Structure 1
């Protein structure tokens, strides 16, 4: 039995706070108990928070090989099949030159506190999964479909507008999980991409929804996973989706294109919090943290809460000074500089060991 103590423990799907808390992990690596400190411990993290590891619910990791090449209009840059990105990545993967930058990105993602990614792979989904696994990050990789039928169980299309309805229906029939980008630009929204995504493709995961109206959002079935990408949306199209309307769907957070953004979910939380203030949105800090931790578990089984019976998968975050509200500290201040260690089953991996 391993017993870990911290100033605060955020446990369960609702991130309930236990002050001066302990997490007991059994010999199988599962959480056996959560409570207040009452005796002998194996590891005292001191003035720190023990919380679920972060989830990046939408990242294009292969993009990192063309870092900072964002000097094109968005459709010319990432549009399928003739966007600059596709021409570049096809050549890169064919020559196997994508592995080194991909592994560098995976290592950096881990150092930000990421425990799981929902990765969109234009090509080579298996390589994407292996690169993240090397650094202890679980990857739910969606292989992009290019008019073919990938053998990978999870598939995505850049847009449902890119393919005929018969093809979209066949993708749905053959694959376990299906995802697509929707309503990222005004043109795509006006062309009816959201309607196609819901009624023809029946996508499990909907990404962006920048131009979706409150009425359209209300019609999305509650079982769907929706993902917003605050920094990328602000950069590429100058606006964010109607986040308050999305909250009943329990939206997830992603960093999107790795050629623009670091895989830093802390930055997404901070940006969304600040942007929400400018719009008068009443976004609760605890909900912002759920978007990056427990809601991805509920929707996609990516990541995991700290809860009895589940495999221990936690993140230790240092508290450099006293705080009267741990949720506010994590949503407004915390970052990679505060990550102390990862709890993986009955093992503890410290940041400097990554």
Structure 2
């Protein structure tokens, strides 16, 4: 049984009968105090599939509640987090203002991954809640996956495998292109972008990059020999464009039809960052009009995606947001998350934080 107190009136809610819309309306109009039996005095809530030896060790130090589907049960998520001191999430959990405001004991939201666009960092900051992430943990795996997609596109590996597995032997149908001597354009020259640049140079590629926050004299630029250029020039010059940007107001829908038509007709697009960066209907149009040669997407505008023409195009490769999913990367990610949660709950500054390293008490409510 779950009891919510709203403006001194007691209302019994059933997650099976109340709609999401009704629930969100309640959140907007009332201050809710959630009382629940399941998470009473829980220290750490894990809302998605996050496993590992470090998680087991965390459970020995703190009271930990795990439910890998909790992210998809909004009412239960809201209640369960209400008395937690720490929440560990991946990318599917929507950590918005209403959730944060109701979590009166929350000290840290720990993101098991490099992107944190599913977390309202501004609201967390105003409430004094630490937001941590794992910027290094999956950068190697993501870079390797992006490079694998580049090779698969340029050598037509997926369609060649499919045809051969069905009994074909059409060697001349799958003539590809070399990476050597080609220009790779990297959008977003952070940790993943820099690792890709190193690998591309080893393949004999020229590398150009767009990142408005990176300066030409920065170490990663000078050491990799990358040429920094405006976005439009990168798109025009590149034989392969690989996106590694965070999702924010500046990058949502960045690669639309007008941007895609700047690319060479022989060029490929690879996206292993965030699906919202690419406008999929515009990408489909560009592919149908042969404005670009192909695309490989590990991330989608909506995940899981709905039926799409992309599913049936031979010059498109799709993977289910697995660029970071290697045993090695996930161990690093989980170890990093657990370390920062442990540090914060013990009053020690987090090492990998987005806003600040320790919770700040006495800050104003975000609605003030």
- Structure number with higher strand proportion: 1
Per the TM superposition, whether the score is higher than 0.5 is no
TM normalised by structure 1 equals 0.30
Larger Rg: 2
